[in-house]
Structure 1
Amino acid sequence: MKTNFKAVAEEILGRTISTEEGIEISKIEAQEKNIEISIPSSLKEFYATLGNIPLFVDGYQHFATIEKLFVKDDKLVFLEEHQSVVYWAVDLKNDFTILQTTNQDFTKDIEWFEMDFELDTFLLMNLFFQCVMSDESYHIKAKGGFEYAASLDSEEYNRNKVSKNFIDTLSIHWEEVINQDNMTIYWNKKLNEESIIMYFSNSENKELEITACTKSEHFLDKLIDDYGFYQL
């Protein structure tokens, strides 16, 4: 099922997203004409509805502005890692395969690596990833973001039974929105506890890095006092 990115983003922020917070279709179509391609529908919708919300397009990883989208090897390059080391693209031969590269010079031959994510899920993942990783200032500007952040290190997770049980049983009370490519993201929509928790796992399924963001200072205190997190 295709993701309604605007609806998800509105639920994340807890408010209505205005037309001005997206990019005008005419501008998107002008760039399509300029680079002589059709932008895959999921990516086009993402830009058209959320493309002017810094939290989602620039908070940590950097989505290319419409004018800077470009094609290399029949792949549309649209996302740059925050340190400009990794780039992501969608394969225009099928409009859904996501590939990444660590080559930064696109005038030369590029070595591409296919990801487990397809475009729609990759964009959905990034909505939540940006929330977890973005600085407080992006959340404040978004008017509904998650202003408080905390982390649980792997040693505390493995040592503290309460911490481990909390993470291992998130699926009981939280919504699992992503579980793919060694990444898991949970979403708590409960009033006064609205939070996102993201972690990565290695091949042995031991959590390596656990990060949380929340709208509630009270819930932040709970993460710290009850479950061994520390504030970021």
Structure 2
Amino acid sequence: MPELFAEKFKSLVPTYLDERWTPAEGIEPDRLDALLAEARVSIPLALREFYLTLGSCEELMEAYHFFWDPDELEVDEDGFLMFLEDENEEYTWGMRASDVALPDPIVYRRHNARGQWISEDGTFTEFVFDHFEWVFDEED
């Protein structure tokens, strides 16, 4: 299967870390498959390529908010595949589990105290790039 999103995700390393991307930034495909099997979840192509290219890059995976490790992914009672949480555990981000067959599904945010999911009005890849732009501009 051709990579649709990997090159874009790889570009985040030189953009925000001033380093060249290396394969060590990602998770090996067989390892990712084993972790997903352990979590008993399916993920969309964009999230898969995100983990394959950046899943071991702690500087990005834990930049202000925390992208969940593949074996920690879960679907909540509302049917959302959750993948990210803020440092105060106030908000969780996810996508509809029913949309994982889409290459790049829409992202939703849940206020954990209220439990209501609200669309971020963008796909996973759009969300990721907006997220890192916000995180690294915020740090400056």
TM-score when normalising by structure 2: 0.78
Q: Which residue of 2 aligns with 1:87?
A: 92
Mapped contact 2:36–2:71 kept (Cα < 8 A): no
CA gap of 1:26–1:129, structure 2 versus 1, over 3 A, is: farther
Matched, 1:116 2:125: no
CA displacement, residues 149-170 of structure 1 (integer Å, 9 cap, x when unaligned): 2xxxxxxxxxxxxxxxxxxxxx
Letter in 2 for 1:85: E
Letter in 1 for 2:11: A
C-alpha displacement of 1:18: 1.4
Structure 1, unaligned stretches of length 5 or more? 135-148, 150-232
Instruction: Please tell me whether Structure 1 or Structure 2 has the larger radius of gyration of its CA atoms.
Output: 1
Matched, 1:127 2:99: no
Mapped contact 1:22–1:50 kept (Cα < 8 A): yes
Partner SS state of residue 121, structure 2: strand
Percent identity between the two aligned chains: 25
Structure 2, unaligned stretches of length 5 or more? none
Letter in 1 for 2:135: Q
Matched, 1:6 2:4: no
C-alpha displacement of 1:57: 1.0
1:27 pairs, out of 27, 31, 46, with: 31
1:1-232 aligned within 5 A: 3=5, 4-72=8-76, 73-95=78-100, 96-103=105-112, 110-134=115-139, 149=140
RMSD between superposed Cα atoms in Å: 2.2
Mapped contact 1:31–1:66 kept (Cα < 8 A): yes
TM-score when normalising by structure 1: 0.50
Structure number with the bigger relative contact order (C-alpha 8 A, sep ≥ 6) is 2
C-alpha displacement of 1:88: 0.4
Partner SS state of residue 93, structure 1: helix
Mapped contact 2:80–2:96 kept (Cα < 8 A): yes
C-alpha displacement of 1:11: 4.1
Q: How many residues align?
A: 130
